[in-house]
């Protein structure tokens, strides 16, 4: 549970970064593009070092890309998908509004949950009727707790083109895909001996490649310029970004790849903690429907994890 809790806290720290970026004039796209270099440095620092053995010292364990391994290509693809998902989220937020994008993001938990239950076998953990009821309530809770009334100047979807209207669908599918593939990596490869740090670092390499191309394109076109606050933003974003994914991978390993258990608790935990932080530090108000959603979230957590709790 400690890894799951750590992943939730680190994910909320990510949200705090995005919330504070405008206050410090940080270019969000540039910070996202460069944060994966910081992610890699953070992960590299976590690689196993010298190990004392029989009075001697074993050499450091170096990081390298083994292109002969299937999981290397899968991990690189997941890294590229991270950046694509960020870009789709930004485009959807700008053209369809925060509400539609937030709902698409959070409701995507149904994809890894269903894959975990019906394809990967739920990590050997049998789900009963109360657990399934908890999953249903979790989806409802996510929808209610993230609902926001559209601001007067927020974009309306009624007059948008079909492609723009499909952006939230793309966000839903990409978030669901990346979370599902992280779980598949855990079940198929990490559980069979691959190092969680090396696997996560390989994902970051894929994200670095995509992020560098994005940053270079925007730099050449004159859209962005390198500024001190953007570099600082990349650091404050990159460290919790890597650690949130790394601890999520460790949480999945601890629960034997049971994404049907981990992802609902993760999503709901992030929503509950983020709501508490927003109310405490930013004085954000919750609608009645949001409060109902948070209450349902607590009930859903109890139903999904009652075996572990009791």
Can you give 76-136 as a three-state secondary structure string? HHHHHHHHHHHHHHHHHHHHHCHHHHHHHHHHCCHHHHHHHHHCCHHHHCCCCHHHHHHHH
- Predicted confidence at residue 150, as pLDDT, reads 59
- Predicted confidence at residue 123, as pLDDT, reads 59
Asked if residues 290 and 145 have their Cβ atoms less than 8 Å apart, the reply is: yes
The two structure tokens encoding residue 27: 């270019």
- Predicted confidence at residue 5, as pLDDT, reads 94
d(CA 250, CA 53): 26
Q: What are phi and psi of 278, to 5 degrees?
A: -65, -40
Asked if residues 117 and 260 have their Cβ atoms less than 8 Å apart, the reply is: yes
d(CA 40, CA 138): 33
Closest C-alpha to 144, from 29, 1, 300: 300
Chunked into runs of 10 residues, the chain (310 residues) has average pLDDT values of: 92 86 87 89 78 40 76 90 83 66 75 81 71 86 74 50 77 89 83 78 90 87 87 93 90 84 85 83 81 85 74
Question: Tokens 């990590």 identify what position?
Answer: 123
**pLDDT for 30-56, tens place per residue?**
888 888 899 999 988 888 654 333 344
d(CA 204, CA 189): 17
Task: Tell me, rounded to whole angstroms, the distance of Cα 126 from its chain centroid.
Answer: 26
Q: What percent of the chain has a predicted confidence (pLDDT) above 70?
A: 84
Closest C-alpha to 167, from 267, 241, 98: 98
Collapsing DSSP states into helix, strand and coil, what is residue 239?
A: helix
């Amino acid at each position: 549970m400690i890894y799951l809790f750590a992943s939730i806290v680190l994910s909320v720290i990510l949200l705090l970064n995005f919330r504070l970026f405008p206050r410090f004039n940080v270019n969000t796209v540039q910070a996202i593009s460069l944060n994966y270099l910081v992610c890699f440095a953070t992960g590299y620092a976590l690689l196993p070092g010298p190990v004392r053995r029989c009075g001697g010292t074993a050499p450091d364990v170096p990081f390298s890309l083994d292109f002969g391994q299937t999981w290397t290509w899968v991990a690189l693809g997941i890294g590229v998908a991270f950046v694509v998902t960020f870009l789709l989220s930004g485009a959807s937020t700008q053209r369809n509004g925060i509400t539609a994008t937030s709902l698409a993001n959070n409701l995507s938990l149904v994809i890894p949950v269903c894959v975990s239950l019906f394809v990967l076998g739920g990590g050997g953990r049998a789900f009963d009727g109360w657990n399934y009821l908890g999953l249903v309530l979790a989806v409802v809770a996510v929808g209610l707790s993230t609902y926001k009334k559209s601001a007067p100047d927020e974009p309306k979807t009624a007059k948008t083109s079909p492609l723009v209207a499909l952006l939230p669908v793309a966000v839903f599918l990409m978030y669901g895909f990346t979370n599902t593939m992280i779980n598949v990596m855990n079940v198929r490869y990490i559980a069979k001996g691959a190092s969680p740090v090396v696997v996560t670092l390989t994902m970051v390499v894929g994200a670095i490649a995509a992020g560098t191309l994005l940053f270079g394109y925007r730099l050449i076109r004159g859209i962005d310029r390198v500024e001190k606050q953007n570099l600082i933003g990349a650091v404050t974003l990159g460290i919790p970004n890597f650690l949130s994914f790394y601890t999520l991978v460790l949480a999945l390993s601890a629960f034997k790849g049971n994404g049907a258990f981990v992802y609902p608790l993760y999503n709901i935990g992030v929503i509950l903690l983020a709501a508490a932080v927003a109310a405490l530090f930013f004085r954000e108000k919750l609608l009645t429907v949001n409060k109902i959603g948070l209450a349902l979230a607590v009930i859903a957590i109890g139903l999904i994890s009652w075996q572990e709790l009791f």
